[in-house]
Amino acid sequence: MRGMGFHTSHNNIRGVSNVEKNNISDSCNVNTSFLSSGCGHSETNTKLISNLKYSLYADNLGDVSYIEIFSLDKGNFKYNVKQIQLRKKGLNANHIYKVSENKIYCSNYGSNGEIQKGRIVVLKNGDIINTIKIKDKYGAQDIIFDPGKKKAYVMFILQPAPYNPSGTPFKIIDTEKDEVIKPFSLKGSFYGYDIKGNYIYVCVDAIDLGYKDVPNNYIASIKRNTQEIKVLTPKGLNFCPTDLKIAPNGKIYMVSSFNNLKYEGCKEPKVSIYNTDGTFLKEIKLDLPDCNKIVINKDGMAYITHNNGGDSGDTITVFNTNTDKVVGKIKGFSGPAGMAIKDNYLFVSNYNTGKISVVDLKLSKIIGNIKLGEGVNPSTLVVF
């Protein structure tokens, strides 16, 4: 869901989205210089800045969108959108991650599609404030963030065992100083993580990488103080995990996809539940294909995106981790990709439409959309 694409000409987009009764409307014009008064809003920009409610970041085809939200009251949205144009600087945003309050790390590709060697862009309040250059011949990819320890584990290019027997290389960064602390390795590529107690829990894919001492897919724990790794499922997993989260009940919940046809277990979407010691508990099959991401709120309600084997999904499954049952579905998306929960809202990036949908979790439905502009395909999403 990433790559080079049409580059929007809007540097700063300001817009308003109205919702009337149960109908979602995106009819208000996007304006590049002021909040549109044609939708009935007369507040000045200065007044709105003092009323900032949420800040969002979304990566989109090499650049990053920064969204300031001033109101979501009754679906009457007021927001500003700014495009942080990394491609003009010879960079290409790959993934974005929250590493402290209102601070973002962005891994990058080169603007010609090649990996940008060892480069992390640091964003704050919608601006580039630093660039971390890491001495490594491979480019930065995904990031594990440990807020309690103020560390970021930056994963570099996936490497098979013959090239790097110790595993895929990482660099651990001090997120206060934006400095590299030390290297780290993991045998495979992680797909989702969460933190509980003294450990980071990750689901790992090592299919066809040639490691002799780990399974094709497995759950691992990383000790937060020492970075000691323990494989919790030495017999492997019978599915291809795409994401992992830990619910308030202390159990691990993983979702899986069936689009990896070379592995026997990757044939059906499901939720797989484990204890944090690696003990299997149960699995629940889902009736929609190709699970991608899962987020869980403080009440134990999980939200699962489906991509339908590409970018064509339109539904999020609602799953109650207190009862381990599917309790509903939310429709109306277009290629749901990233998700982020803040207060009583679920923000969902729509890869196909250049919009971020806002779900009221009390109503369990979309109450409006934030338009990011033309030629924008948002993927990963962070909210403050």
CATH number at residue 242: 2.120.10.30
Same domain assignment for residues 281 and 297? yes
Same domain assignment for residues 182 and 252? no
pLDDT (tens, 9 = 90+) of the chain, 384 residues, equals 333 332 333 334 434 443 333 334 343 333 333 343 223 232 334 444 558 899 999 988 889 999 999 999 876 899 999 999 988 888 888 889 999 888 999 988 655 545 556 689 999 999 999 999 887 666 788 899 999 999 999 998 777 888 889 999 999 999 999 999 999 999 999 999 999 999 999 999 998 888 989 998 999 999 999 999 999 999 999 888 899 999 999 999 999 876 544 455 556 789 999 999 999 999 999 988 778 899 999 999 999 998 765 567 899 999 999 999 999 999 999 989 899 999 999 999 998 889 999 999 999 999 999 999 888 888 899 999
User: What's the Cα-to-Cα distance from 127 to each of 52, 219, 241, 382, rounded to whole Å?
Assistant: 16, 36, 34, 15
Same domain assignment for residues 243 and 296? yes
Same domain assignment for residues 309 and 198? yes
Q: Is residue 214 part of a domain?
A: yes
Same domain assignment for residues 307 and 318? yes
Q: Encoding tokens for residue 295?
A: 């987020």
Last residue of a domain, one of 305, 331, 357: 331
Same domain assignment for residues 164 and 202? no
Q: How many domains does the chain have?
A: 2
Instruction: Check: CB of residue 327 under 8 Å from CB of residue 319.
Output: yes
Q: Is residue 338 part of a domain?
A: no
Same domain assignment for residues 153 and 265? no
Last residue of a domain, one of 186, 207, 237: 186
Q: Is residue 62 part of a domain?
A: no
Q: Is residue 156 part of a domain?
A: yes
| Rounded Cα gap, residues 125 and 245, in angstroms | 28
Same domain assignment for residues 253 and 175? no
Same domain assignment for residues 285 and 264? yes
Q: Is residue 256 part of a domain?
A: yes
| Rounded Cα gap, residues 219 and 238, in angstroms | 12
Same domain assignment for residues 140 and 252? no
**Domain interval for residue 138:** 100-186
Compute how many other C-beta atoms are within 10 angstroms of the C-beta atom of residue 147: 13
| Rounded Cα gap, residues 194 and 147, in angstroms | 11
Q: Is residue 384 part of a domain?
A: no
Same domain assignment for residues 200 and 178? no
